[in-house]
Chain A
């Protein structure tokens, strides 16, 4: 469904991805793991067609969705037409808006389509958000903010959800809860998920397949179970 071929991407003159190729099929959970600076976030931003200065320029290669190149599609159309969105690193929720406003705003491209029902759905997944609906979102705890970031992404009615380090800064229990919810969204609703993680152990336990990135290149790939037990990956990324 989503296919990346020989993708090279650069920030200005500095190339961050040196020709990576991977694919994601409908209904899969795929994880990209790797150390800091490997190009994981860069890959997600390139997929979303976000623009510089925060995001890279694709210099070579292609990204196709159902066989059609999306390189020329602006980010907001990737969300509205291709139904793919990103819960970015550091959550980036709109702290000056209430929880409710964050969710309503995210339904921008789905105007007139049962927004209230969708909000209720998000509240069912994350009951904590319902309690905080009228609160300014920068007063939420880290875990709640991550729930809001994911809830907000779901409000766009995405069929592909990209997650950039959702576990960052979360207490272990909350982290497991979050991944359980993601798994549930995947199995119950067929949501395709691409998750970038530092916590490779956790990501590989949830994912179907994984890719290991290192300094802008894919150095290993395969079913998550295999990667989890590969000695060299264990040594490099899973803490031995």
Chain B
């Protein structure tokens, strides 16, 4: 039982990473009907930006003389802002020109795939193959709750994911911008007729999704400090699948889907040979989609995001 609960804690942590990435996929899809396949790599870029920001702030010469707590507190918003700029740049440089020319959505999706590869390989070319290690920003404290070991970092990760979810849910359902995002997903044509600049809504969506991916990248790098250019690829794919299983376009779906995938993965790895992990995980997801092709929260042709 303790072993099971311990695995649950691990699954919650992994689920948080998946959820944070899946939310970005779902936001962009909800608004633009575009699967932004570069999103997993934006997560990777987020982790690297967190590395550069935090090592820069911790400059060995004691240039700033910040304590590590302050560095962490500064790294979070800086990483989010910088990563959101990467996402917005992708939209501006790669997707918007195609959309403007009325390109079929397939070409935009392929462009997104290419952008992801460019980010991965650009990173490899610029920074070389040697791996970077994120400095320790948070001293590890282990809490023992009824025989289950929980680190402060795991608590931070899960807490952040839940917080982000509620913040996003609030933005989408309660704010003017969220209303506009939902409206775009229903009918892009009518939006300018309300005096709303479509591009402003699109940029906001990309900025929001990417900043969450950046936050995820930072937390991931804090948990697994060794960074490599391909770290976003597999995790990104899985998060995308999680978003689809949850019902892509729905914020709740991305959140639930992320945790669901992590639970299946971790439990399979815990109780069966770990080589079975992905086979089982994806078989379960396949079964869910087979039963509900639009995902857990997805409704055909109705509300998205």
Contacts and interface: CB of A to CB of B under 8 A. Distances in A.
Interface in B146-191: 176, 179-180, 182-183, 185-187, 189-191
B304 interface: yes
Interface in A80-109: 80, 85-86, 88, 92-97, 101, 104-106, 108-109
A95 B186 contact: yes
A76 B180 contact: no
B183 A85 contact: no
A96 B186 CA distance: 7
B102 A88 contact: no
Contacts of B197: 74, 76
A94 B196 contact: no
A96 B185 contact: yes
Interface stretch (A47-55, A180-188, A210-218): A47-55
A75 interface: yes
Interface in B246-305: 302-304
B190 A93 contact: yes
Contacts of A74: 192, 197
Given A94-B187, A96-B304, A105 B180 contact: yes
A80 B200 CA distance: 15
A109 B196 contact: yes
Contact of B193 (A95, A138, A153): A153
Nearest to B192: A75
Nearest to A98: B179
Contacts of B190: 88, 92-94
B186 A105 contact: no
Contacts of A101: 179
Contacts of A105: 176, 179-180, 183, 194, 196
Interface string B189-208: 11111111110000000000
Given A52-B102, A105-B176, A108-B176, A94 B192 contact: no
B240 to A, nearest CB: 23
A96 B302 CA distance: 7
B196 A108 contact: yes
Contact of B194 (A53, A96, A106): A106
B198 A76 contact: yes
Residue among A74, A108, A153 with most chain B CB within 10 A: A108
Contacts of A8: none
B183 A80 contact: no
Nearest to A50: B192
A75 B179 contact: no
A53 B179 CA distance: 24
A101 B186 CA distance: 13
A79 B194 contact: yes
A198 interface: no
Contacts of B186: 94-97
Nearest to B185: A96
Contacts of B195: 76, 79-80, 85, 106, 108-110, 156
Contacts of A110: 195
B131 to A, nearest CB: 45
Contacts of A96: 182-183, 185-186, 302-304
A12 to B, nearest CB: 9
B193 A54 contact: no
A40 interface: no
A2 to B, nearest CB: 17
A122 B34 CA distance: 36
Nearest to B184: A94
Interface string B82-113: 00000000000000000000100000000000
6 contacts: A74-B192, A86-B193, A92-B190, A97-B186, A108-B194, A156-B194
Given A79-B192, A96-B302, A105-B194, 14 more contacts: A48-B192, A50-B192, A79-B194, A85-B194, A85-B195, A86-B193, A88-B189, A92-B187, A93-B190, A105-B196, A109-B196, A138-B302, A152-B194, A156-B194
Interface of A: 48, 50, 52-54, 74-76, 79-80, 85-86, 88, 92-97, 101, 104-106, 108-110, 138, 152-153, 155-156
